[in-house]
Structure formats: C-alpha cells, structure tokens
Amino acid sequence: MTPRVPRLSSLWAIMKKPQAAVGRRCRKQASSLAGREKHALSSNQAPDVWVSEVMLQQTQVATVINYYTRWMQKWPTLQDLASASLEEVNQLWAGLGYYSRGRRLQEGARKVVEELGGHVPHTAETLQRLLPGVGRYTAGAIASIAFGQATGVVDGNVVRVLCRVRAIGADPSSTLVSQQLWSLAQQLVDPARPGDFNQAAMELGATVCTPQRPLCSQCPVQSLCRARQKVEREQLLASQSLLGRLDVEECAPNIGQCQLCAPPTEPWDQTLGVANFPRKVSRRPPREECSAICVLEQPRALGGAQVLLVQRPNSGLLAGLWEFPSVTVEPSGQCQRKALLQELQSWAGPLPATRLQHLGQVTEHGGVRDDGFCGHIRRPISALWPSPQVVHTFSHIKLTYQVYGLALERQTPVTTQSGARWLTREEFHTAAVSTAMKKVFRMYEGQQPGTCKRSKRSQVPISASRKKPSPGQ
C-alpha cells in the first residue's frame, strides 16, 4: 500500500449540497460508483494510513513514496517501529523535512504498544486525544480511511476546493472560516464511503482544483462551483453590478459585511478567475539567523578520511539529528571565527587556528538556488568572487550558514564529550543528517583537490574562464 492508495479509478469527489434536488442527484451518482468499486480497509492497515498521512503533511506524494516504501519495509508493524531507536528513525527520515513528524510517529507507536494494548484508537476524537503528533486532520484521515468513520477532513487541498465550491473569499486561516470549512467537510462526507470520499476530495484539489491554472473543464463539480459561476458572470457582465439571489457564502447580508466574503479592499482580479479563491494568506517574514559552521576533517585517518559530527538536542529544531559543529553568530561576522574555533576545540581539543578557512555560505529558506561553483581551490572563495549560495526550504527560519573548513594533517584529536563522533564520507551520506548539512558538505568537497568533476566548458584555467557567477534559479 502506497500513500493514499488504492484510490478510486474514477475521481469521485461529488460535493453534495443540502438542497433536495442537487443532493438526490449527487447521492445517486456516488452510490452508483460505490456499487461498482467497493473497497474497505481493515484496522490492520491503520498504521499504514497513519504513516502515509503524516508523511504527506506539507510534502508532495511524489516525494513521499520512496520514503514510505522504505519505512514500511523496515518497520512493517507498530511493534517494529516502537522498538527502533530515534537514531534509526531520524536516519530514514533524513531529507524529508519537518523532522519532528518522524519522532512523533515513533512516540505514538510506543504509546499504542505500551499503553493501548497494540490497538490503534478507532475514532477521530480518541486518535487526536491519545496519540502524540496526531492533529485534527490526521485523526480524521485515519478514522475515515482505516475505520470507516463518517468524519470530514480539511487539508490545504480541501480548503482550496471548499473555498471555490462555496465562493468563500475571507481569510481561510481565520478561526471563523476554519470552523466553517470543517463544518462543510462534515456535511459533505459520504457516510457509506467516508475514506474514499475524503481521499477523492484531496485528490481533486491536488490534481484538478490546483492553486494555479485549475482544470475547471475537467472538474466533476464545476456545475456546483460558485467560484466558476462568479467567473462566468464576471465575463458576461464585466464590471457591472451583479444581480440575483443573495447567498451567504458570496454576498453580504443586508446589514454589515459577510464574514465569509472577501473584504471590499480586495477587488476581484479578472486575470485569476477561480484562483481568486481562496484568499492568499499574508505570512510573517521568516526570522533571520546566522551560524558559523565547520567541516572538521582528518584526511589521513585510519580507514579513510573522517569528519566530525555532533548531535543536536533531543528537543527543538532538528531534534536528535547530527550536524557539523556550529555556533550562532551575528550577521556582521565579527568574532565568528574565534567563537567557532572555541566550539571546535571544545569537541576535539587543540586545533591549528591558521588552517581554519572560510568557504562560503548556505542560506536555508525559500526555493533552491545554486550558483554551481566547483573549483579546485584551497583558499577562501570570498577572496576570488562572491560566495556561492544555496537556498533551501527550512520551515519558518531563514538560517544562513557561514561555512568553514579545517583539514588536519598528522593529528588525531580525541573527542572530549559524548554526543560527537567521527564518520567516513560514506557513513556521512547515510547518517541522520539534514539536507542543509549535505549542502554544507558539498560546498566543502568542492574546495578539495580531486573531488569535483568540471564540465567541458570549464576545462581551462580559472583565471581565464571564471567570471562572477550570476545566480541561477
């Protein structure tokens, strides 16, 4: 079983309305399809649904599938997962992001095994109340898909579908609108096949009712979609005032502004069409932080070159993961070299300060940007041209790493504290490290002789071929 699989072969997402005529027609269509494709999950598959739904939070299906497959192969039962170490969980989760999800999954598995007799709770209410890390959405997904409870779910895809179907233009993150969306989801869920209905609603938002360029002509609920109706009226009447029946989801009542409508300060954008819904939520700018980090390597260590990693605390950001030694510094960069050297020496003893070299920076936020520099240079990049920058999604923080490297020769420092270890390069790539650390290490490797293959276009001396690189998206 893969995430949200098996799905219906036909997209079944008929959004029922309480009005008798439309309701009868939709229920008849749904019942007909249900009769052709009966399918039910057993309680034995609840852990599978639990794992897949947690992995799918904030993550696309295409990214999740390989992680899900490896996870279920390694821990096919909750008993297997409960007996695993946090190190193993972090190692398998590495690269998937939002790392607390994996830790919470294991905590939940241990609670089921040790306190609940090995039985996953069957209702959304008990799932949310008893299992750590299981919120309202995940609880509803497990209860409806695995146990057939007629409970609705609301994720980002369902929010978009419901806001368009019911022409809700107010801020979907507000308490009032959120409550309305959950109420609508509960009214619409099919009691005969709630799991299939919820999955189809999510699939509808993911594949048809997309954020940009929705495929309205292929939508099975276009005749019920008030956003689509509004687009058609706007196209017909242009900027004229709309006349017709008042409706609470799309029109203000006689007194005051409807709390589900878009505010008057946000006019209709003809170019967006149905993508005017839902309203774009304004987000706080990310908090900016800066750290100095160092790849400390023993190139001539017995058994092959080794790098030093230290473990993060068991709570907080990236809990339990391994990383290169680092210190939080001021963006100005003052005293960061001295502070970093002191941190390195606290783990590895006396070190040659003169060999500590600044390589560049890695900024953790947004999309992906890589200037692609890959030269055979031992001195700091900043001495030649601006440092290459790699930008990567990192939750709500814009974290810039000033990357240093220090390669030891004929020295074997001894780690003075627990929570640190030396790993070969091969071991590093399979360890429980974040994507950020892998990018830091790639930057370090790019500065070492013989570690980077250059393209045919760059097979000339640097002084003759290199210009200041322009950022690439």
53 is catalytic: yes
Q: How many residues does the chain have?
A: 473
d(C-alpha 291, C-alpha 331), whole Å: 8
- DSSP assignment string, 199-246: HHHHHHHHHTS-SSS--GGG-TTGGG-HHHHHHHHHHHHTTSPP-S--
d(C-alpha 259, C-alpha 279), whole Å: 13
d(C-alpha 298, C-alpha 408), whole Å: 5
Question: Which one from 53, 203, 323, 364 is the annotated catalytic residue?
Answer: 53
Nearest CA-CA partner of 428 in 436, 437, 420, 419: 437
The pair phi, psi for residue 361, each rounded to 5°, is -140, 150
Burial class (CB within 10 angstroms; exposed 0-12, middle 13-18, buried 19+) of 73: exposed
Q: Which long-range contacts (CB under 8 A, 24 or more apart) does 407-413 make?
A: 407/297, 407/299, 407/355, 407/448, 408/296, 408/297, 408/298, 408/299, 408/351, 408/352, 408/355, 409/299, 409/300, 410/300, 411/298, 411/352, 412/298, 412/301, 413/298, 413/348, 413/349, 413/350, 413/351
d(C-alpha 464, C-alpha 470), whole Å: 17
d(C-alpha 440, C-alpha 361), whole Å: 8
DSSP letter for 67, please.
H
d(C-alpha 139, C-alpha 152), whole Å: 10
Alpha helices, DSSP H, located in 37-174: 46-55, 61-74, 78-82, 86-93, 100-115, 124-130, 136-147, 156-165
Query: Residue 364: helix, strand or coil by DSSP?
Result: strand
> In which residue are the tokens 């959405």 written?
137
Nearest CA-CA partner of 167 in 281, 263, 270, 261: 261
Active site residues: 53
